[in-house]
Amino acid sequence: MPKQLMKGNEAVVRGAILAGCRAFFGYPITPASEIAEAASLLMPEVGGVFIQAESEVAAINMLFGAASGGVRAMTASSSPGISLMQEGVSYAAGAELPMVIVDIMRGGPGLGNIAPEQGDYYQVVKGGGHGNYKVIVLAPNSVQEMCDLTYLAFDLAEKYRTPVYVLADGFIGQMVEPVEFPEPKLPQIDKTWCVDGTAETRHNLITSIYLAPEELEQHNLKLKKKYERIKREEVRYEAYKVDDAEVILIGYGIVSRILKSVVDTMREDGYKIGLLRPITLFPFPEEKIRDLAKTAQIFFVVELSTGQMVDDVKLALNGMREVKFYGRCGGMVPSAEEIIEQVKSVFEETEKEIEHQR
Amino acid sequence: MTTILKKPSTFYEVFTRKPDADKINTHYCPGCGHGKLHKLIAEAIEDLGIQDRVIIINPVGCSVFLYYYFDTGHIQVAHGRAPAVATGIKRVHPHSIVISYQGDGDLAAIGGNEILHAANRGEHITVFFVNNAIYGMTGGQMAPTTLPGMKTTTTPRGRDIHNEGYPLRMAELIATLDAPVYVERVALTDAKNMAKARKAVRKAIQIQVEGKGFAFVEALSTCPTGWGMNPPDAEKWINEVMTKYFPLGVFKDISDKVEPVKFEKKILTAEDIKKAIGVNGSEVTQVKKYQRNTIAEKYKNPKIKIAGFGGQGILLLGLVLAQAGMLEEYHVSWLPSYGPEMRGGTANCHVNISESEIASPLVSIPTVLIVMNRPSLEKFEGTVKPGGVIFYDNSLIDIEPSRKDVEVVAVPATKIADDLGSTKVANMVMIGAYIGYTGILTKESIFDALDIMVKRKEFNELNRKAVEAGMEFVV
């Protein structure tokens, strides 16, 4: 099938529809609005629902309603809008509803700006709502993955009955690249748990209330077990030229693309350097990181933030190796050359230290 | 004749979901109005024969446990969000009968936005709004419907209109909107009022069954515990005091005028879906092959930055290059400076056309800079890689690039475009100049790219002429 040139935000909607998504609820916000715009155009064409909600709070709750009906449904927003949706995500996690949320991150805190950032790692990966819950988080780094990971998100959401995020930055959303689309899926409603206004589902109850402490504890433990299974079975990452690498760069989203350029350029100059790109942020590829620590001495994390994912890298390594960090934020994006300069200084420091030890 | 009092079949016989030992009685306090309204709803569902289709939205408040009692589908939701959740489930399953049940804090305070917009969209749902002028579940705090002067745990001196404002009359408010079909306020008190309430409840559900739209019933309801009264006094207080502020009656009824909506399900095949959303189906197997030009090494794998004023077609210029590159089977990427704040100001985009996979789509050190206004030349000239090329529109830019270590190509793009009849095609002249000078892409792929990218095909004749004019200029 020949490829088509498309914007990331538009590829998301097509990936969703091909996965069988038939309902979109959203509120306009830059730089995610193209997703709602494409959904408003395309959903009715496939017999689906599109509603421009009165707020992000309403949008996530409309999604809660549609998801309760067992259909594949989604919303999309950007950082401040995601903050508003957190209540609904907590309820959905508690009620074990499958749903897909796309976050095209912009600059914060507060109104911040509309430029690309990765400042939502904490609020999305660590769960910005209340209670003991986790969500699966997929981090695309190309337009192809905007489509493919959205397509995958619906399967994962249904398999584990959990909200799944597609977490991208403004660049990935706005970028245009060739994309090849997967085959359409025509999923069936699972009537064992949903409510769809039929006799078969009449006795079903969608709820996050467990009034008795014993019951709520059991429910939390059940969720925990689910998250542990997700950690075992759903870790995804890309490892690039890591085999003999002494320094491992770690970055996701647009940063991983820049880091790939860094690796290619520095390899040409003889540096032993590689890239680990987490594709799932939860579950985080901790084991792979520990595995890489067998050969690599230094881990260098780059983010469009003041340092959020770097915490998970440190937790994974638990002091085994040195973790360096370089971040830009507010919409400032580091060039490959800028990062190369930073990484070279790390190499030099290490050399000096080794010499010193000799 | 003896009347046998029996539970409507819509209620569970035994309330097994109720966690305490008593599985027969409800959790409501003696004399509470909720039980009365539950019964009216249960009877209506039974009589209309729709039990299997009903989905009840359980709010936050005393009625949070509707699912203990009603043998129907249930969704328990966050505080205030019932109308939004009801919207979501009703839209995806239009044959279901969605009943949204909310108290006054839930609907009129925290959920004020959701109810107003669900009503205004004319959602095909039935809303029961229980107004007891108080927050019952949390222990008797002020509600948006608390009467002036009324004492609650958060208005210990009585509701002061200068501090807390006036009670909200929701039925009246909803009735001002165009979409709602039926809006009535009833009181769950004496036999006469209960008869009216029974009729209103039935009608509000009937309207949804008939596909007519949004129905809203506000029920003035007793809260003897919260009010510190015995049940008979509480009913009396509604009839004598509450109804003065919240008059009973029908505020809107257009149910005999509106046309019922028929919901039809679209059944689509996989091929229909691909066609509907404009993605290539398996039928597209023939890919046109383009003959690439032979290109000087220094012009291969360009990292291009294009910049100018918003409105000069800077972004399109880049998109056409990327599209043509893709047609010629290069790896390509395009990245804009984005957002409404860019409108009218400067616009720039990054384009990569590469023989190998593109790592970073960002172009920080361009090998090709195409600029169409002076600020862009000044801003980006210094970033060009030594040995790179700068194309600039010298009909608009009154300075020359100062770099000596790059090639500089002056193209009077705007003048050439004007001579062709439209300033707007200056961007196309630049494309022509760039491909003509470097040979990176062919005229054929550019023309095909234009056919793909430009929606109004009638423009393409002029666009093609402009590309050709640009190519001729640099020969």
pLDDT tens sequence across B134-181: 998 888 999 999 999 999 999 999 999 999 999 999 999 999 999 999
Ranges for all domains in chain A classified under CATH 3.40.50.970: 4-233
pLDDT at A2: 79
**Mean confidence (pLDDT) of chain A:** 96
Q: What is the pLDDT of residues A87-108, one digit of tens each?
A: 999 999 999 999 999 999 999 9
Q: Is residue A358's pLDDT more than 80?
A: no
Q: What's the pLDDT band for A352 if we cut at 50, 70, 90?
A: confident
ipTM score:
0.96
Q: Is residue B96's pLDDT more than 80?
A: yes
Q: Is residue A203's pLDDT more than 90?
A: yes
Q: Could you tell me if residue A305 is left (phi over 0), alpha (psi between -120 and 50 degrees) or otherwise beta?
A: beta
pLDDT at A127: 83
Rounded to 5 degrees, what are φ and ψ at B439?
A: 75, 10
Q: What CA dihedral angle connects A31, A34, A35 and A38, to 10 degrees?
A: 180
Alpha-carbon gap, residue A171 to A142, rounded angstroms? 9
Alpha-carbon gap, residue A241 to A275, rounded angstroms? 7
Q: Does B317 touch chain A (CB under 8 A)?
A: no
- To the nearest whole Å, the CA of A247 is away from the closest chain B CA by 19
Residue corresponding to tokens 């705007």: B414
Write the DSSP symbol of residue A176: E
Residue A189 has which token pair?
Answer: 């409603």
- To the nearest whole Å, the CA of B54 is away from the closest chain A CA by 6
Ranges for all domains in chain A classified under CATH 3.40.50.920: 237-357
Q: Which of A46, A170, A264 sits opposite B277 (nearest CB)?
A: A46
B168-199 burial: b if 16+ Cβ within 10 Å, else e: bbbbebbbebeebbbbbbbbbbeeebbebbbe
- In sequence order, the 6+-apart residues with CB closer than 8 A to the CB of B89 are A65, A66, A68, A69, A195, B55, B57, B75, B96, B98
- To the nearest whole Å, the CA of B192 is away from the closest chain A CA by 34
Distances B169 to B87, B109, B370 between C-alpha atoms, Å? 23, 12, 63
- Coil, helix or strand at residue B183: strand
CB–CB contact B338 A17 (8 Å): no
Q: Does B275 touch chain A (CB under 8 A)?
A: no
Alpha-carbon gap, residue B331 to B352, rounded angstroms? 8
Find the residue in B nearest to A258 (Cα). Answer: B360
Residue A208 has which token pair?
Answer: 């996050």
- In chain B the domains, ranked by start, together with CATH numbers, are 33-253 (3.40.50.970), 298-474 (3.40.920.10)
- Coil, helix or strand at residue B329: coil
Q: Does B287 touch chain A (CB under 8 A)?
A: yes
Residue B405 has which token pair?
Answer: 């270590």
- For residues A198 and B52, is the Cβ–Cβ distance under 8 A? yes
The average pLDDT across B450-474 equals 94
Alpha-carbon gap, residue A39 to B312, rounded angstroms? 29
Which amino acid appears at position B472 of this protein? Answer: E
Q: What is the pLDDT of residues B299-314, one digit of tens each?
A: 999 999 999 998 899 9
Q: What's the pLDDT band for A349 if we cut at 50, 70, 90?
A: confident
Find the residue in B nearest to A47 (Cα). Answer: B266
Tell me: domain A237-357, CATH 3.40.50.920, correct? yes
Pairing relationship of beta strands B97-103 and B126-131 according to DSSP bridges? parallel
CB–CB contact B359 A258 (8 Å): yes
pLDDT at B1: 47
Residue B8 has which token pair?
Answer: 């409507």
Alpha-carbon gap, residue B374 to B307, rounded angstroms? 10
Q: What CA dihedral angle connects A59, A62, A64 and A66, to 10 degrees?
A: -130
Pairing relationship of beta strands A113-116 and A99-107 according to DSSP bridges? antiparallel
pLDDT at A175: 95
Q: What's the pLDDT band for B341 if we cut at 50, 70, 90?
A: very low
Alpha-carbon gap, residue A142 to B303, rounded angstroms? 18
- In sequence order, the 6+-apart residues with CB closer than 8 A to the CB of A187 are A19, A20, A72, A154, A158
Alpha-carbon gap, residue A65 to A16, rounded angstroms? 18
Chain A residues whose CB is inside 8 A of the B77 CB are 61, 64-65, 91
Question: How many Cβ pairs within 8 Å bridge chains A and B?
Answer: 243
pLDDT at B288: 84
Q: Is residue B204's pLDDT more than 80?
A: yes
Return the number of other C-beta atoms located less than 10 Å from residue B249's C-beta: 11
**Mean confidence (pLDDT) of chain B:** 94
CB–CB contact B75 A195 (8 Å): yes
Alpha-carbon gap, residue B51 to B69, rounded angstroms? 13
Q: What is the pLDDT of residues A50-83, one digit of tens each?
A: 999 999 999 999 999 999 999 999 999 999 999 9
**Helix (H), strand (E) counts: chain A:** 12, 16
pLDDT at A187: 85
Q: What is the pLDDT of residues B117-134, one digit of tens each?
A: 999 999 999 999 999 999
The fold of A4-233 is: Rossmann fold (3.40.50)
Q: What percent of chain A has pLDDT over 70?
A: 99
Residue B357 has which token pair?
Answer: 């996979």
Chain A residues whose CB is inside 8 A of the B177 CB are none
Alpha-carbon gap, residue B437 to B475, rounded angstroms? 7
Peptide bond before residue A283 is cis, with ω within 30 degrees of 0: yes
- In sequence order, the 6+-apart residues with CB closer than 8 A to the CB of B47 are B202
Residue A66: name the closest of A82, A87, A88 by CA. Answer: A88
For B:96-125, CB contacts with A below 8 A are 96-98, 113-114, 116-117, 121
The average pLDDT across A133-139 equals 98
